[in-house]
Amino acid sequence: MKLFKYIISLCIVGSVWVSCTNLDEEVFSQITATNYYQNSENVYAALTSNYTWAHKTGWEDARYFLQEVTADQLMIPTRGKHGYNGGEYVRLHEHKWTVQENFVYNAWVGPYKGVTLCNNVISDFEKLDFSRFKLNENVKNQYIAEVRGLRAWYYMFLIDFFRYVPIVTGVDEIKGQSSPQEVFDFIESELLAVIPALPKNITSSRLDQGGAASILVRLYLNAEKWTGKSRYDDCARVAQEIIDGKYGSYSIDPDYRGPFRAGINGYKSPENIFEFAHKKNYLEASWMYNMWMHYQDRYSLDNDWQGWNGGNLAPSRDLRGNLYQDKLGMPFEKFPNEDIRKKPFRVTSVEGDYEGFFLMGTQYKFDYDKGYGYTDEIITGTEEYNGKPLVYVDQVGRFSEGEAGLAKGSHVIYGEENTGYRLIKFPWLPQSKDLFQMNSIPEIRLAEIYYSLAECKYRANDKLGAARLLDAVRKRYFSAADWPRFSYEQNLAKLTDDEFVDELGREFLGERHRRIDLIRWNRFSEGTWWDKSPDASNQDVFPIPYRALNANPLLEQTTPGF
């Protein structure tokens, strides 16, 4: 696949460079748009550089944290002497971020680096004579449309996080902020303009008609919160068009693991509309692995990585083992026991088949003799449980300190090395079988389109229509014998506002959806979960970062309370 050949060849190409290496400045000055583009491979490398940064923007660090760690399903606890990091994770959890927060600043800078890259490449391509490289005008228009679509995707982060942001489309532009409606209109107009120029089903690792239309669904679904104007009717219309195949052929994967194991042994999930393809040593989801895996998990998952033991699921149980009673949170226990996703993760064959989405309970060593599964040898901890069995618990507390530790209570600062179940929805498969870091990460699945349409129908009081759409996805998680008890269509009274929010959490756990879903349902600032209380101030919008204000005199603080 050419994508992997070129995807790391550039960080930025074009008229203006954003520094992403340690090369000396004079080397930068030697490479310009004039002398860089020598063949079609250079053109393709410039195109795919946009996908490299898009992957980083969506699935690493700040943008991911702001969507997930600020919400009710994932957390980064302080584990004894590890993980406090100046209290930045605590502030995210408690909704007490500041204008000087690194995560908030990076949520501004990351998408704008992507916008800059897109602007540079668009400018280069518009001036470039593609016929020099035996590429026709249709290819040129398609490449430019792809990059414009990605630029619109970057602006979705910016309107979501900050609302009032500059719309920058040219090289070297410095602008003041536009209103949320103006930013919304820009995103919408860009997507509507590029969809006809894009092919259908080009490849799930490139933006095509289905991908651009799906971004439009996201835009319309959240319009009311972003601009004050509802666009649910438009959301429903485009979502139905995607399901009907207007923008390409997609279907719900009958295998619940399918969307997340795409790329393994060449598997292509029919559900993935737009994904970030990975290949070890070319483009890896290293951050996703290291942030959530314990230092010792390499021994159970068969790889030579260290892991940072950073995050885990928010707890479902208190210090005495009782279920919390809040409507939100408790992500693991929100899955019914009959749901086949609610299993301990286990590789079940040498081909990389597996089951379950969670690392939980006692951890065992990988069975190298069989090439899959576990032995009976227990993995031990390295910190509070040094030399003792490593047992993940669905709780947060200083259990190693006995009653004195329990007296401290359950809070984000009182974690231990074994705190929390670990989400392994994006599977970490055996390195000894050349499967590790070979699976794609789906950015947009057809399931999201079904759920978006279901939400539009639910809000329009068509509960039966919503139930049928949700069931079309959910049926794969239950046995035929259990399904009648869990079908929404067959138990329509169960589908309430609270249940809809819970179901969004189950389906998109860890997929960078949760904060925005809670905001749309008025549960982000107002909601209660675990040790988080409702906030009297509205925390749905992040402040314009202090460093951004200093860098651009045309900006002003537009977020109330800051």
SS (H, E, C) 313-368: ECCCECCCCCECCCCCCCCCCCCCCCCCCCCECEECCCCCCEECCEECEECEEECC
Measured over the CA atoms of residue 297, residue 301, residue 306 and residue 308, the dihedral's sign is: negative
Q: Dihedral of CA 413/313/430/444: which sign?
A: negative
Tokens of 243: 């399901």
What type of residue is 512?
A: R
In order of 117, 121, 270, the CA distances from 137 in angstroms are 22, 16, 30
Of the candidates 424, 439, 454, which is a domain's last residue?
439
Q: 83 lies in a domain?
A: yes
Any domain includes 529: no
pLDDT value of position 29: 40
Q: What is the pLDDT of residue 284?
A: 85
Domain-embedded: residue 456: no
298 and 413 both lie in a single domain: yes
Contacts of 32 (CB under 8 A, 6+ apart): 15
Whether residue 309 is found in the same domain as residue 433 = yes
Q: What is the pLDDT of residue 280?
A: 85
User: Alpha helices of 361-520 — where are they, by DSSP H?
Assistant: 402-407, 446-459, 463-474, 483-486, 497-507, 514-520
Strands 358-359 and 346-347, sheet pairing: unpaired
Token pair 């009032």 in the structure block, residue: 164
Specify if 502 maps to a domain: no
Task: Note whether 75 and 191 are same-domain residues.
Answer: yes
pLDDT in the model for residue 35? 76
| 402/299 same-domain check | yes
User: Dihedrals φ, ψ of 312, to 5°?
Assistant: -165, 175
144 lies in a domain? yes
Q: Are 421 and 313 in contact (CB under 8 A)?
A: yes
10 and 103 Cβ atoms separated by less than 8 Å:
no
Pairing of β 391-392 and β 361-362: antiparallel
Q: Judge if 161 and 40 occupy the same domain.
A: yes
Pair 391, 291 in one domain: yes
> Is 26 inside any structural domain?
yes
**Cβ–Cβ under 8 Å, residues 316 and 333:** yes
Q: Is 424 within 8 Å of 285 (Cβ atoms)?
A: no
Strands (E), 386-437: 391-392, 422-423
Distance from C-alpha of 534 to C-alpha of 527, rounded to nearest angstrom:
5
d(CA 7, CA 101) in angstroms, rounded, equals: 31
**316 and 181 co-located in one domain:** no
DSSP per residue, 84-140:
-GGGHHHHHHHT---TT-HHHHHHHHHHHHHHHHHHHHHHHHHHS-GGGGT--HHHH
Collect all residues with Cβ–Cβ distance below 8 Å to 399 and sequence separation of at least 6.
319, 393, 405, 406, 416
Question: Both 147 and 293 in a single domain?
Answer: no
Is the same domain home to 302 and 191? Answer: no
pLDDT at 10: 36
| Spatial distance between the Cα atoms of 527 and 518, rounded to a whole number of angstroms | 8
The SS3 of residue 246 is: coil
DSSP 8-class letter at 420 = S
Predicted pLDDT of residue 33: 65
Mention every residue, 6+ apart, whose C-beta is less than 8 A from residue 166.
175, 176, 177, 178, 552, 554, 555
Instruction: Print pLDDT tens along the chain (562 aa).
Output: 333 333 333 333 333 333 332 333 333 344 456 678 999 999 999 999 999 999 999 998 899 999 999 999 999 999 999 999 999 999 999 999 999 999 999 999 999 999 999 999 999 999 999 999 999 999 999 999 999 999 999 999 999 999 999 999 998 888 999 999 999 999 999 999 999 999 999 988 999 999 999 999 999 999 999 999 999 999 999 999 999 999 999 999 999 999 999 999 999 999 999 999 988 888 888 888 899 999 999 999 999 998 999 999 999 999 999 999 999 999 999 999 999 999 999 999 999 999 999 999 999 999 999 999 999 999 999 999 999 999 999 999 999 999 999 999 999 999 999 999 999 999 999 999 999 999 999 999 999 999 999 999 999 999 999 999 999 999 999 999 999 999 999 999 999 999 999 999 999 999 999 999 999 999 998 888 998 877 766 789 999 999 999 999 999 999 998 8
Closest CA to 526 of 515, 512, 539: 539
The pLDDT of residue 475: 98
Please report, for the domain that includes residue 8, its CATH number: 1.25.40.390
Domain boundary among 407, 424, 439: 439
The domain boundary residue, chosen from 387, 421, 439: 439
Angstrom distance (rounded) from CA 351 to CA 364: 20
Same domain, residue pair 295 and 435: yes
Residue 320 · residue 336 · CB < 8 Å: no
- 506 located within any domain: no
Contact yes or no for 343/421 (Cβ under 8 A)? no
Overall domain count for the chain: 2
Examine the domain organization and report whether 17 and 140 are in the same domain.
yes
DSSP secondary structure letters along 258-296: GGGSTTGGG---TTEEEEE--BTTTB--HHHHHHHS-TT
Q: 53 lies in which domain range?
A: 2-197+544-551
Residue 221 lies in a domain: no
Cα angle: 167, vertex 220, 54; to 5 degrees: 55
Compute the CA torsion angle 181, 183, 189, 192 (nearest 10 deg): -100
Say which DSSP state 255 is in.
S
Kindly state whether residues 141 and 16 are assigned to the same domain.
yes
Main-chain dihedrals φ then ψ at residue 279, nearest 5 degrees:
-155, 125
